[in-house]
Structure formats: structure tokens, C-alpha cells
């Protein structure tokens, strides 16, 4: 079993307890550390006190997220002249989850790439979604134009900058796949772009 197979098997067998997993974990420090981290997270989660009241921010964030998804309605929705969230956002309401999925994919990819065994075998690095820097930029700007026209110029400039940063970092990662800082720069750039999308769509509820 190699590192990739071990990571895939973690989703199927808990705690790294199969014979093959144990053999690999004894020999691979990187995977051993990964499993240790996962176990720590599981252990910490089980110690959370059910009776402890979460921060009001948590409830607030949940409520906002549910409203965004249309699962609960804001108090004024029944009589508001403004159309529903889904009707106003159309396809664009999927941009944030799409960006999140993209980030997750990049994160998993970079994490895997950082394992020593794999680094040795990799000749080059590409981000899974090669055209990610162009991800629905036009849709984003259209939303900004419709809903925050006074900030259109600022969004356009920041979108340009963040796309440029993605191209910069991608270029260096392509040249030097083992450059950990370049990889992190690429990850940061994608995260910043995701944040830009999030902010553009984070509009007040009717």
C-alpha cells in the first residue's frame, strides 16, 4: 500500500486499523502524522459538550446560510416586493459553493502533493481545474453591476489582481513543483478569489 492508497482507504476503514494500513503507517512518517491528526480531531469532537451553548455567531451564521439557501424565509419575505433569492441570483447562486469545492479540490491536491513519496514521482504540477482563474468572472461582475454598481470598479480591479496572483503562483509552481511556498501562494490566491466571490454575493436579505 502506498500513500495514495492509504489516504483513499481511510474513507473506508476507520482509524487506520487494517493490516495493510498498519504496515504502511509504520513505514511512512507523513501518513502516520496525517492519521494522528485525524484521530486528534475525532477525539476532540467527541469531547464537545452537548449542553454547551454555541456562540451566538454560530446561530447567526447558520441562519444566514439557511436564508441564502432558501431553506428558511426572512420575516418580510411574505409581502416583500423584492423577488426571492433564487429568482434574483439564478445560476450565480451556485458560484460560492462552486468556488468552495474548487478550493477543497486544490487543498486536497496540494496536501497530497506535499507527501514526500509523491513529490519524488511528480514531474509537474497542475491545478485540477486548469481554467479556474476564469471561473465565472463575468457572472460575478454582472452580479456586482446589478446589485452594487457603485463598487463595480473596485471589484473589477481586485478580480484582476487576484487572477494575476493565481497566474503568477501557478507559473512558479509549474517551474518548481517542489517549492512549498509557491504552492502555498497558489492556495492563498485561490482562497482570496473565493473570498472575493463570497463578498460579492453576501448581500443583505430583503
Partner 1 sequence: MVSRRTAKLIVVGVIVAGTLVAESKREYRFSVGPKAGVSVMNPYGSISVKPSVNNTVVVNAFLHSDKVEVDKNQNGNRVDIQSHLLAGADADSGRVDYEVLVPADASITLHSNTGSLRAEKLHGDVSLEGPGAMVDVRDISDAHVHVKTMNGAVNLDNIQNGHVEVDSLSGDVTLNGVTGPLVQVVSTSGRINYIGDFGSSGEYRLTSHSGDIEATIPEWTSADVSARSVRGEVHDDIPLQPKNHTWFPLDKGRAFAGTMGRVAVSSTVVLRTFSGKIHLRKRSEKQ
Q: Which residues between 79 and 138 bind partner 1 (CB under 8 A)?
A: 81
Rounded-to-integer distance, Cα 46 and Cα 2, Å: 30
Binds partner 1 (CB under 8 A): choice among 22, 26, 36, 76: 76
Count of residues engaged in binding partner 1, rule: CB under 8 A: 40
State yes or no: residue 59 binds partner 1 (CB under 8 A): yes
Segment interacting with partner 1, rule: CB under 8 A, options 44-52, 54-62, 95-103, 135-143? 54-62
Binding test (CB under 8 A) with partner 1, winner from 50, 57, 71, 131: 57
Least distance to partner 1 from the beta carbon of 161, Å?
A: 5
- Are the C-beta atoms of 173 and 89 separated by less than 8 Å? no
Best CA proximity match to 21, nearest among 4, 6, 42, 43: 6
3-state secondary structure 7-44: HHHHCCCHHHCCHHHHHHHHHCHHHHHHHHHHHHHHHH
Identify the residue among 9, 129, 148, 156 touching partner 1 (CB under 8 A).
148
Confirm or reject binding of residue 182 to partner 1 (CB under 8 A): yes
Task: For residue 38, give every residue at least 6 positions away whose Cβ sits within 8 Å of its Cβ, in sequence order, or none.
Answer: 10
- Which sign, positive or negative, has the C-alpha torsion 92, 96, 101, 106? positive
Q: Name the strand (E) or helix (H) holding 4.
A: helix 3-10
Q: Does 181 bind partner 1 (CB under 8 A)?
A: yes
Contacting positions for partner 1 (CB under 8 A): 55-57, 59-60, 75-76, 81, 148, 150-151, 154-155, 157-158, 161-162, 165, 168-169, 172, 179-182, 184-185, 188-189, 191-192, 195-196, 199-200, 202-206
Amino acid at each position: 500500500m502506498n500513500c495514495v492508497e492509504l489516504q483513499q482507504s481511510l474513507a473506508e476503514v476507520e482509524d487506520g486499523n487494517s493490516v495493510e494500513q498498519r504496515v504502511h503507517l509504520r513505514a511512512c512518517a507523513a501518513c502516520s502524522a496525517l492519521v494522528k491528526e485525524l484521530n486528534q480531531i475525532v477525539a476532540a469532537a467527541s469531547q464537545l459538550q452537548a449542553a454547551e451553548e454555541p456562540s451566538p455567531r454560530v446561530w447567526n451564521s447558520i441562519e444566514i446560510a439557511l436564508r441564502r439557501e432558501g431553506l428558511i424565509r426572512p420575516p418580510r419575505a411574505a409581502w416583500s416586493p423584492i423577488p426571492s433569492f433564487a429568482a434574483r441570483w439564478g445560476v450565480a447562486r451556485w458560484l460560492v459553493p462552486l468556488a468552495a469545492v474548487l478550493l477543497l479540490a486544490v487543498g486536497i491536491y496540494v496536501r497530497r502533493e506535499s507527501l514526500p513519496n509523491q513529490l519524488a514521482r511528480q514531474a509537474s504540477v497542475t491545478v485540477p481545474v486548469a481554467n479556474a482563474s476564469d471561473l465565472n468572472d463575468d457572472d460575478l461582475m454582472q452580479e456586482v453591476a446589478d446589485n452594487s454598481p457603485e463598487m463595480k470598479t473596485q471589484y473589477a480591479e481586485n478580480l484582476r489582481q487576484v487572477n494575476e496572483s493565481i497566474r503568477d503562483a501557478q507559473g512558479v509552481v509549474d517551474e518548481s513543483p517542489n517549492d512549498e511556498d509557491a504552492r502555498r501562494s497558489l492556495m492563498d490566491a485561490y482562497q482570496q478569489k473565493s473570498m472575493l466571490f463570497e463578498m460579492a454575493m453576501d448581500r443583505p436579505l430583503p
